[in-house]
Structure 1
Amino acid sequence: MKRTLMVGLSAAVLSSSMVPMFADAHSSSHSTRNIKKVEFLSMDAPTKIDQMVKTYTEAKVKVTYTNGKTEVKPLNYNQLFLSQDKIVENKGEMIAAGTPIDAKGNPIIDRSVPDKPEAFVSDAPDSNSLLEVHGKKYMVSHFEYDSIDNAGNEVKGLPASMTLTEVVQDKKTGKLAVKKASKIDFENVNGLWTPCNGSTTPWGTHLGSEEYEPDARAFESDKTSTAYKEVNAFAERYFGTTEKANPYFYGFTPEISVDRKGKATAVKHYSTGRFSHEMMQILPDQKTAIFGDDGNNTMMFMYVADKKRDFSKGTLYAAKFKQTRATEGGAGDLEWIKLGHASDKEVKRLIDKGTKFSDIFETADAPTPGFKAVKTAASKKVEYLKLKPGKEKEAAFLESRRYGALLGATSEFNKMEGITVNEQDKKAYIALSYVSGSTEKQEGAVQDDIQLEKRESGATFEIDLGRATGIDSRYVPTNMQALVIGEDLKKPDAYGNTANPDLVANPDNLAYSATSNTLFIGEDSSLHTNNFVWAYNLKTKKLSRILSVPVGAEATGLRSLDHVGGYSYLLSNYQHPGEALTGKQITAVDPKALEQAMKDGIGIQKTGGVGYLSGLPSGHKSYTHR
């Protein structure tokens, strides 16, 4: 996310062991069981203005079979809809897919231009899940935020939204198309705060996120703070009153289920902890989950549910990073610190009774006996905190990162983003968009567990999963090591790139395909003028560029679907196109002409796109129907 997956298919998608090989080729005579190797053939980076302003692919995929034969097919990008497209039926009228709604289900209106009020439209579609329920296919899509209002101002405190889209599949070609769409109601959980990445559960639901949780300390103590202003603006727009403004309503994981009538229901899993939820990734035992915590000075969390497929009650842990290598992206072992055990109901009761930050911690303004110094994403400053007696549960689940830091967990990760899992090899993968700032050696810091070599372009890490003493899970992350790393440039190239354009810069969304043994990586980088989606072969270590999104846009919504009705897809969105064009040091093309081409096309930060790549090899048997 600039303002700053679980990979598998929904459990409800039916599988078959004999399916067509390519989404755009339905006459193949080969069985998927005879695939020997899958290789993605890279496309070039865009070099002309007409390429730089669109979403496209020129990549191909080569499949080698055990009988020695090969097939090479092109990949194709298919746009389902733009966030500004009026595809949503809402109270008898059609509204844009990216329009947020208030607690009463009404579109939230942008009144920044007094004589031209109109509904907000997000330019930031993010996570997708494709769910199949009783033979119908539904896509859940996040709309993370709206960058700018109609007057050109940055929007603060705007409630976010998700859209449920019913899609239909052409059985002959695999092409997906929109049938109808609706907004998902979050009134029962007090609205939705900044949904970033997400995942699909093995039991056929969608797990969302609430990123950049508002600082409850600042909200309570400083009415000039960003937190106070944003939470009150949110409440005014969503509830119609600031009386319900409460920072502890937000910073959790929502789970979305769809019933046989196509109605979506949202719950929030309060017991999974409150922090900057980038996403929650369920691991193969279906009771362990790990999380991305986006921002600077963030923390790695793990949750172990009491019961399989039920994340309403369990134990929350935070990681202590023990560095083993500083170079080549870095590596380290992970030790887990228990924060607490709770149910969603218990934590919600703490929120509903009006718990405040000052009920949980005592604070000091300087080093003081009995107080511990911590530095976390919750505050830009070092804080001196002491837990109040008997407030362990409130601290663990409402101030998870601050409490984790008090107990010695590492709060030095920087922009911990997407996660995906490779069940067969018992590996997970996590993106650290930046290996800089809090991940570098910091003289005089209150904590300095992570001391990695600076790499602004970031790295994607591989995580080993195993057992740990005292934790009821076979999928505990035990260590992590950089797998795919970027390369910073000392000066911009002709296209304004300040990181090598032939390597990944600032990885964000991740997805894994078992069929091709491939890790897909989407970028959120200002170091690349155009962001890309990459395919990384875990066996051959080959990196291939397979998609380019519009200049200034971020590649989001990445989800690998190895088998949907006989076809494979890579869901892929883009958000905030044209952002940060001003000031780019571009000499290969005319920067003014590039900016004008963006304005003449889809506009600058006006809309985002929801779509998918087709043409991928198909056939991995996913989870069975529950």
Structure 2
Amino acid sequence: MKSSKSKFIKCLVPVLGLALILPIASIPVSAAAGPVAAPVSVRSVEFVGMDAPATAEQMAQVYTKASVKVTYSDNTEKTFPLAYNKLFKTTDSIGGTIAGVAVDSAGKPIMDTSVPNNPQPYVSDDPDSNSLLQVQGAPATGLGGNPLSLITHYEYITHNQAGSSAYGIIPASMSHTIIDQNKTTGELTPVKLSKVDFSGVDGLWIPCNGSLTPWNTHLGSEEYEADARAFEADPKQTYVNPFVQSYYQDQTKTGNPYAYNYLTEVTVNKDNSTSVAKHYSTGRFSHELGKVAPDQRTVFFGDDGGNTMLFLYVADKVADLSSGSLYAAKWIQKSADNGGSADLQWIKLGHATDSEVKSYIDKGLKFSDIFLTSDKAADGFKAIKTYPSGKVEYLKVKPGMEQAAAFLESRRYGALLGATSEFNKMEGVTVNAKDKKTYIAMSYVEKAMEKDTKGTDPADDIQVNKISSGVTYELSLSGGQKDRDQAAIDSSYVPSFMKGLVWGEDLAQPDAKGNKAADDKVANPDNLSYSESLRTLFIGEDSGMHANNYVWAYNIDTGKLSRVLSTPAGAEATGLQFVEGLNGFNYVMSNFQHPGDEMIVADNLKAAVESNINQNFNNKSAGVVGYISGVPTEQQMLDAVAKETKPEPSEQEPAKPEAPSTSNGHDSSKPGVQPTGLIGIRQAAKAAGISLTWNAKAHEVVLVKGKHKLVIRVDAQTAVLDGQTIKLPLKTVMKKDSVYFSAAVFQQFAQLK
């Protein structure tokens, strides 16, 4: 047999195209590690979708049979199966607290007394937004894993024990769940749940969707604002008073509609406590959610309802939403097909701080303090039509009340200034940072978005073709833009053009399962989340047109649409959040709410589906909080291949132990046997004059030689050289506080110019 050294010289191949044939003398340790393999990289990632549920049993479950197919640069393929994991039902008690319980201002459960002599706490069946996050310095969970936090919305209470609607009357809530993340498998386990305290901001009004900010806080929402004009005329026309009376447990209390319908920000502190702020300066409208751009200043919104508006907020400071400028868009149509397309012109509504807007609320400002009204067309009055009124109104702003109008009545004021108030069911929002795109879901493209053939509306900017099953839009972002008055907009993320990207297909007649829209396309998109690494847009449905609602994966490069999750019939897919590489794992957070509600299942299936749902989800009283696992990170994709090509032990020879280091750095060696075919990286880098730094959080060593950078991760059989992933002949390991790396690859790096 030829010596290992001779074999190494003959078989050594280039790393990233750098042909470096090294003399034996350049390798200070035994070179028996075998040949340096050509780097293997990921060529493509594809979601392989699942079939739609076919049986009554499947239609009553939440499940996935989808997978991820990875194709590598050497043309090999590997499939990663997905799985759905339930964290908890809303009716479950986690650490002594019922997850979905409604609480009053004192944090006590609000009791349902609708059935005599049987008081029960109100418990929501409607979990929505999730933010899974990690707070550095958080206490250990006691289970040995990484401590994480999960903020979850409970949007509303569907009904009381007697079966009457409780929507909007019983205060909504959020929970903070301490999660244990298994360090080896990534499995998430709920440990303790507590309710987030909103008593300092007058309670929480119908929290729908939400997002995680770039600075690691949860950005919540309050949708479907009460009509302040209707409230002033007759408070019984709104839920405001019943809501505050329930929240404060005081039947004499009078509410204020202007206290609600803003973005809410929840901060999780190191001691697992939470703090809350309402950002009044982001405007008052039907906040589906707010999504912050990479600049940490620009915010995009969903505005749910009919006759709604597209807003933009630019904060004064990075990572601080307490003051800024609010804008509203005018749709300048280019086409009508497939959701249509349009240029966007931005109209500045005003600038304010949270405290300035809050001062108007504290003073008890009313609708009539802001606007003058007329019952018909008149000089100085402008006709508008907006949510929540839905009627033509003739208004003008009282002198000096422009700021109050802009931030307490954002949509009415925007319409008076000429912004478009014809959007319908504007839902989820997410951002593609690399391509500078924003995606917005319009659940039902109809009504005010269609051409006004009767000529009765005050404006008709949007005139697109009806698609009741909805459209997900793509908005192009750019800097250097000016508003309608030619004033510069201080953001590099201003939407300038909007077009349909993914749309559904309405059916003339329901199919065999009861679907009113094509089952192989998205129907009524709602939640959106985007993965930068996978180039994939995740779309969750809130459909009255699909018998079962789905979560889809849409590849923005190939246009492939894959069904990756099915929820129970009548349930809405909610809480969608793609979590990217959290301690080495990907997650697709995904909940569902109100299973079995308003089912459109075909008559021959309905009884069996309903029976199964009742059995699975506490007689339709429980929603579920959970996640899809199995979506691999790039490192996991590469590790899966590396394990299959690991050299046999017989190809390796013993090496001399590295001399102990006297350095105080991380890689200070202790006497011991050096792993075969590897060298101690700190000593080797020092000897070669190569800069070395240690990232304890990521367990990474970073080497810099001139213009070249090599990133080495402990327990990985890949490394990143000048931004490109390369495959290593041996896994990098840590032994007795020293990091050991492939000798051959290090020597090639050391030779780079």
Question: Please, what TM-score do these two structures have when normalized by structure 2?
Answer: 0.76
Q: SS state of the match for residue 241, structure 2?
A: helix
RMSD: 1.7
The residue aligned with 1:262 is: 272
Distance 2:316 2:52 in 1: 48
Distance in 2 of aligned mates of 1:337 and 1:32: 52
- Measured in 1, the distance between the counterparts of 2:255 and 2:339 equals 41
Measured in 1, the distance between the counterparts of 2:188 and 2:133 equals 13
- The aligned residue for residue 136 of structure 2 is 134
In the alignment, structure 1 segments of 5+ residues that lack a partner are 1-29, 89-93
Aligned pairs for 1:481-520 (under 5 A) are 481-520=499-538
Judged with a 3 Å threshold, the aligned counterparts in structure 2 of structure 1 residues 585 and 268 are, in CA distance, closer, same or farther, namely closer
SS at match of 2:100: coil
In the alignment, is the contact (CA less than 8 A) between 1:125 and 1:557 conserved in 2? yes
Residue 609 (structure 1) aligned with residue 616 (structure 2): no
How far the C-alpha of 1:197 sits from its partner, in A, is 0.5
Which of 24, 42, 50 aligns to 1:43? It is 50
**Secondary structure of 2:610's aligned partner:** helix
CA contact (8 A) 2:235 2:241 kept: no
Match of 1:317 in 2: 327
In the other structure, the counterpart of 2:593 is 575
Q: Secondary structure at the match of 1:285?
A: coil
Deviations 1:142-185 (A, max 9, x none): 00001111111111411110000000011121110001110000
Q: Give the AA of the match of 2:151.
A: V
Structure 1 match to 2:291: 281
Matched, 1:586 2:612: no
Partner Cα separation in structure 2 for residue 31 and residue 403 of structure 1: 62
Check the 8 A contact 1:523/1:531 in 2, yes or no: yes
Does residue 1:420 correspond to 2:427, yes or no?
no
Match of 2:87 in 1: 80
User: 2:345: which partner in 1?
Assistant: 335
Residue 538 of structure 1 pairs with residue 545 of structure 2? no
**1: CA distance between counterparts of 2:60 and 2:88?**
17
Task: Assess if the C-alpha contact under 8 Å between 1:331 and 1:480 holds in 2.
Answer: yes
The 2-side partners of 1:69 and 1:174 are apart by 26
**Alignment partners' CA distance in 2, 1:140 and 1:471:** 33
CA distances 1:286-336 after superposition (whole Å, capped 9, x unpaired): 111111000000000000011111110000000001111101221111100
The CA distance in 1 between the partners of 2:55 and 2:587, in whole Å, is 28
Letter in 2 for 1:614: S
One-letter code of the match for 1:108? I
Which structure 2 residues correspond to residues 15-26 of structure 1 after superposition, within 5 A? none
Shift of 1:208: 0.2
The amino acid across from 1:591 in the alignment is: K
Shift of 1:410: 0.2
Question: How many angstroms does 1:603 deviate by?
Answer: 3.9
Structure 2 distance, partners of 1:214, 1:429, is 27
What residue number does 1:180 align with?
Answer: 192
* Matches of 1:76 and 1:33, distance apart in 2: 27
The superposition leaves residues 242-265 of structure 1 with CA deviations (integer Å, 9 ceiling, x where unpaired) of: 434111110100000011100011
Q: SS of the residue aligned with 1:232? A: helix
Larger relative contact order (Cα-Cα within 8 Å, sequence gap ≥ 6): 1
Indicate the residue corresponding to 1:549 in structure 2: 567
Distance 2:318 2:41 in 1: 34
1:148-167 pair list within 5 angstroms = 148-156=159-167, 157-167=169-179
Separation in 1, partners of 2:446, 2:264: 30
Q: Aligned partners of 1:147 and 1:357: how far apart in 2?
A: 30
Q: How does 1:119-518 map to 2 (within 5 A)?
A: 119-135=121-137, 136-156=147-167, 157-225=169-237, 227=238, 230-241=239-250, 242-442=252-452, 443-444=454-455, 445-467=457-479, 468-469=481-482, 470-518=488-536
Report sequence identity in percent.
Answer: 54
Q: Check the 8 A contact 1:562/1:619 in 2, yes or no.
A: no
Residues 620 and 414 of structure 1: CA distance in aligned 2, closer, same or farther (over 3 Å): farther
In 2: Cα distance, 1:52 partner to 1:611 partner = 18
489-498 vs 112-121, greater mean Cα deviation = 112-121
TM-score, normalised by the number of residues in structure 1? 0.91
Secondary structure of 1:338's match?
Answer: strand
- Structure 2 match to 1:522: 540
CA contact (8 A) 1:81 1:611 kept: yes
CA distance in 1, matches of 2:541, 2:619: 19
**Aligned mates of 1:357, 1:451 — CA distance in 2:** 31
Q: Deviations over 1:550-582 (max 9, x none)?
A: 01000000000120111100000000100112x
TM-superposed deviation, 1:531: 0.3
Q: Would you say the 8 A contact 1:562–1:620 is kept in 2?
A: no
State the Cα distance separating 1:69 from its structure 2 match. 2.1
Q: Secondary structure at the match of 1:314?
A: strand
3-state secondary structure, aligned to 1:424: coil
After superposition, the C-alpha distances for 1:382-440 in whole angstroms (9 at most, x for unaligned) are: 11111101000110000000000000000000010001101001111000001101100
